[in-house]
């Protein structure tokens, strides 16, 4: 049986288990990590990945977690090549591992833009700041600012993420555009709180920026690069590291 490990992608720490143990086994002692990733065999892809936030809630997608899982599966020789597929609740992601530099490139789906896809009740959020909404299989709100994103996140994160105007809750990403193809971002994620980075959050910021060329998102956890694949999916590349 493969040993459980803790890995992080751009500062997001995950406990990774490959097997069939029930989530509750881990969730009652899930301390010091942002989430739990459960990997199991799958008929539609190489592996299926369940994602649980620190509060026990199940998430649809996790870009940073995908990179960690892909690298771990490759290094554990559970896949034959550096190219593999992982299915989540959001769909199947293609992953390419670059073991010489501990980086992974993954597709994380086609964005759906607008409040309809994020369970937004416009009337209920009338008093909140103007935000853009992008679903990457999970609901994301992007708040653009010219100020320090970390300070703005601390002000609005607790108010926005659990607000009654979002039927599924929402992930908040405060973004500052530093150049046409680079943004600094601070995220507050549902079920977790302030995080050092967010893969799907970075993708949402990229989509909201309306840039088509390669785009870099930097946070306290590091930098991630985003681009569009020919089929319209978002491609994310960045590091994955064992704790």
pLDDT tens-digit map of 116-129: 999 999 999 999 99
Helix axes 63-75, 199-209, angle to 10 degrees: 130
Cβ atoms of residues 145 and 107 within 8 Å: no
The residue range of the domain holding 171 is 112-241
Q: Is residue 20 part of a domain?
A: yes
Does residue 127 share a domain with residue 183?
yes
Whether 137 shows a pLDDT value over 70: the answer reads: yes
pLDDT tens-digit map of 56-115: 899 999 999 999 999 999 999 999 999 999 999 999 999 999 999 999 999 999 999 999
pLDDT tens-digit map of 11-52: 889 999 998 888 888 877 767 888 999 999 999 999 999 999
Distance CA 77, CA 63 (A): 22
Domain boundary pick from 33, 67, 98: 98
SS3 percent helix, strand, coil of the chain, rounded to 5, is 20, 40, 40
Distance CA 125, CA 220 (A): 28
Does residue 233 share a domain with residue 128?
yes
Instruction: Give Cα separations from 199 to 28, 49, 100, 218 (angstroms).
Output: 25, 16, 22, 11
Name the pLDDT band for 1 (thresholds 50, 70, 90).
Answer: low
Instruction: Give the H or E element holding residue 133.
Output: strand 132-135
CA 103 to the chain's CA centroid:
16
Domain boundary pick from 50, 76, 98: 98
Residue-level pLDDT at 226 = 98
Does residue 67 share a domain with residue 117?
no
Cα 29-34-39 angle, rounded to 5 deg: 80
Distance CA 173, CA 186 (A): 6
Distance CA 156, CA 116 (A): 22
- The pair of structure tokens assigned to 23 is 């989530």
């Amino acid at each position: 049986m493969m040993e459980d490990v803790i890995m992080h992608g751009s500062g997001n720490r995950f406990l990774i288990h490959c097997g069939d143990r029930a989530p509750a086994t881990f969730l009652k002692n899930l301390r010091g990590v942002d989430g739990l990733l459960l990997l199991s065999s799958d008929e539609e892809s190489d592996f299926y990945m369940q994602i649980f936030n620190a509060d026990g809630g199940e998430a649809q997608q996790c870009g940073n977690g995908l990179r960690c899982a892909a690298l771990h599966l490759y290094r554990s020789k559970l896949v034959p090549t550096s190219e593999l597929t992982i299915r989540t609740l959001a769909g199947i992601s293609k992953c390419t591992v670059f073991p010489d530099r501990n980086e992974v490139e993954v597709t994380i789906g086609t964005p759906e833009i607008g409040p309809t896809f994020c369970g937004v009740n416009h009337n209920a959020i009338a008093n909140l700041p103007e935000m853009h909404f992008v679903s990457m299989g999970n609901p994301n709100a992007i708040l653009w600012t010219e100020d320090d994103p970390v300070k703005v996140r601390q002000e609005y994160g607790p108010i926005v993420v659990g607000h009654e105007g979002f039927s599924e809750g929402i992930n908040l990403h405060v973004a500052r555009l530093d150049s046409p193809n680079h943004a600094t971002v601070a995220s507050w994620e549902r079920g977790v709180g302030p995080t050092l980075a967010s893969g799907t959050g970075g993708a949402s910021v990229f989509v909201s920026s309306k840039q088509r060329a390669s785009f870099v998102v930097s946070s306290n956890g590091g930098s991630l690069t985003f681009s569009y694949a020919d089929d319209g999916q978002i491609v994310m590349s960045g590091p994955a590291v064992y704790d």
